[in-house]
Amino acid sequence: MILPSACHDERRAPLAHGAFLSLPCSIPCLHVLTLIAIREAEMRSLGILIVAGILWLSVGIAQSLAGESVLDAVRDRGFVKCSIGNRLVGDTRIGPEGYEGFFPEFCRVVALAVLGDRKAVEMSPTLIRVGLESIAEGDVDLYVSNVTWTFSRDIALDLMPAAVLYYDGQGFMSHRGTVDGPLTELPSASVCVSRGTTTIGNLEDFIARHGLDWAIVPFESSQGRNDAFFSRRCDLLTTDRFALATMRTSSFDNPEDYVLHDEIISKEPLVAYVSTRDMTWATIVRWAIFATIVAEEKGITRDNHAAYLDSPDPEIRRLLGVDVVEGTEASGLDAAWARRVIAGAGNYGEIFERYLGADSPMGLDRGLNRLWKDGGLIYAPPFR
């Protein structure tokens, strides 16, 4: 900056003993510098205001692009949009309420939490690929099926698992009377398997690990694989155990002619998927599922939940809404949301037994899906 000429004048003020003090600037110069300082301060203030305005505008645009929350959209339309698998014939069926089954029941769990009505659900059967894409594109609110939690699904599709619904694994089915005892003691056998899947790799590892002389019979399609097994061209059929149970229940007139073996040779956590774009909604879905697990841990069921309202157990009081958990209102839920879930759907164990348990058409043992305290993997964080 070039200063006015007055500011370049050097004035000399007399001091004692003939000395002089050099004054680099005159009074007019000081006035000019003061004005410049004021102008610079004004410009800095203006810059701050401009930056603040840009930030405010950016937040507004981001909120506009994000649109309303999933919870608000659900309440505006009056029902939860839920995509379910289209091939779980043994588990999913049409009943008085529409689609019924283990996985569809968790759509109703969410509806009970946010709307208070287990029937306030629109379910659409889809292929797994279509269902996951529907979540990623925001066409549905959640996807529940026999879909495995994997890294690629998390990273590539902007999806996240709300919670594990069922711990599955690759298993085996045989014709009754074909195999006696553990499979690891079966020295030779033929196994029908789908080509180009992780299933065949898991099978190869199992055979090598136990030194078995098994013949792998690969097929391009699951239908070809199944047809070969049904016609006894293979001693064993291998795929996910849940799918095997479904096939046994839905494909045969006499399910008891086929044996589901206990051996599980891979990890297949089946989850409810939601979008990463609304973390509050993801949290609501997750804790609606966890509420069913906590209820089973505490012995609370559909029939006895009212008797626990006077319980001195702090966690039970929070679960049933007697004492309100901090942050509940901010999430958009009311205090009694988990109580509605339990009253309308029951606890996790009740849901499992109703659709998958020993007295159901599926006839499955809980296995890994027992509570953690009973030796299983089903576990919920503290309800507090």
Show Cβ contacts of residue 313 under 8 Å, excluding neighbours closer than 6 positions.
298
Give yes or no: residues 184 and 317 share one domain.
Answer: no
Q: How many domains does the chain contain in total?
A: 3
CA torsion sign for 182, 187, 188, 190 is positive
> Are residues 103 and 240 both part of a single domain?
no
Residue ending a domain, among 197, 229, 260, is: 260
The answer to whether residue 75 sits within a structural domain is: yes
Single residue among 224, 244, 260 that ends a domain in this structure: 260
* Residue 383 domain flag: no
**Is residue 360 domain-shared with residue 297, that is, in the same domain?**
yes
pLDDT for the residue numbered 218 = 95
Collapsed DSSP state (helix, strand, coil) of residue 292: helix
Measured distance CA(255)–CA(251) in Å, rounded: 8
- Supply the pLDDT for residue 44: 56
- The answer on 283 and 251 residing in a single domain is no
pLDDT at position 115: 98
- Residue 17 to residue 258: CA distance in whole angstroms: 120
Q: Do 142 and 283 have their domain in common?
A: yes
Strand pairing class (213-219; 159-168): unpaired
The 10 Å Cβ neighbour count of residue 51 is 10
Tell whether 156 and 272 lie within a shared domain: yes
One-letter amino acid at 279 equals: M
Cα separation, 303 vs 377, whole angstroms: 25
What is the pLDDT, as a whole number, of residue 94? 79
Identify whether residues 193 and 252 lie together within a single domain. Answer: yes
Position 335 in a domain: yes
**Among all chains, which residue has been given the structure tokens 């699904």?**
153
**87 and 48, same structural domain?**
no
Give the tokens for residue 101.
């089954």
- The domain boundary, picked from 39, 66, 93, lies at 66
Query: Residue 333: inside a domain, yes or no?
Result: yes
Flag whether 195 is in a domain.
yes
Decide if 244 is inside a domain. Answer: yes
d(CA 111, CA 114): 5
Look at residue 384 and tell me if it is in a domain: no
The whole-angstrom separation of Cα 25 and Cα 5 is 10
Please report how many Cα atoms fall inside a 13 Å half-sphere around the Cα of residue 239, on the Cβ side: 23
Give the Cβ contact number of residue 188 at 10 Å. 9
The CATH number of the domain where 211 resides is what? 3.40.190.10
Return the amino acid letter for 262.
Answer: D
Q: How many residues belong to the chain?
A: 384
Contact 187, 207 (CB under 8 A): no
Cβ proximity of 248 and 257 under 8 Å: no
Q: Are residues 84 and 226 in the same domain?
A: no
Residue 381 lies in a domain: no
CB-based contact 173:191 (threshold 8 Å):
no
One domain, residues 368 and 229: no
Q: Which domain holds residue 207?
A: 170-260
What is the residue-level pLDDT of the chain in tens, covering all 384 positions? 444 444 444 444 444 444 444 444 444 444 444 444 445 544 554 444 444 344 333 433 333 345 689 999 999 999 999 999 765 545 677 788 888 999 999 999 999 999 999 999 999 988 778 888 999 999 999 999 888 898 888 888 889 999 999 999 999 999 999 888 899 999 899 999 988 777 888 999 999 999 999 999 999 888 899 899 999 999 999 998 888 988 887 766 678 889 989 899 999 899 999 999 999 999 999 999 999 999 999 999 999 999 999 999 999 999 999 999 999 988 999 999 999 999 999 999 999 999 999 888 888 889 899 999 999 999 999 999
Does residue 204 sit in the same domain as residue 323? no
Looking at the fold, whether 160 and 187 belong to one and the same domain comes out as no
